[in-house]
Amino acid sequence: MPETTLPDLIADLVTSRHAGGYRFKVQQRVLRQFADHCRREGYPDGPITKEAVDEFLYGRHLRSSTVRRNELALRQLAGHAQAFGWDAYTPACPSPAAVCAHRR
């Protein structure tokens, strides 16, 4: 059986979310962008590293709401990857109070 790649893992996560009735379109786009980032920057398939996640999330000038949305998508990917036995860094999400303060 061939080894699972990051794009395979993302496709599996998207399929499972769709099967559960979720649209998951924005998250799917974010996760594909992350896979492209990893390929372009030379991160190997296998572990999802803190460096790859941090570069993707914080290496560009994005609105804080966009960063938050991307963090949530990558948290779902990390959990899914860990279920497949991958080492996967889970990005920290701000506390609910920080999110509320941002929305003011």
pLDDT at residue 66 in the model: 92
Across all residues in the chain, what is the average pLDDT? 87
Of the candidates 80, 66, 78, the one whose C-alpha atom is nearest the C-alpha of residue 30 is: 66
pLDDT, tens digit (0-9, with 9 covering 90-100), for 66-94:
999 999 999 999 999 999 999 999 998 76
Residue 11, sorted as left (phi over 0), alpha (psi -120 to 50) or beta, turns out to be alpha
pLDDT band of residue 99 (cuts 50, 70, 90) is: very low
Structural contact between residues 79 and 90, judged by C-beta atoms closer than 8 angstroms: yes
Is the per-residue pLDDT at 100 higher than 70? no
User: What is the enclosing helix (H) or strand (E) of 103?
Assistant: helix 96-103
* Angstrom distance (rounded) from CA 72 to CA 78: 10
Per the listing, tokens 């499972």 go with: 16
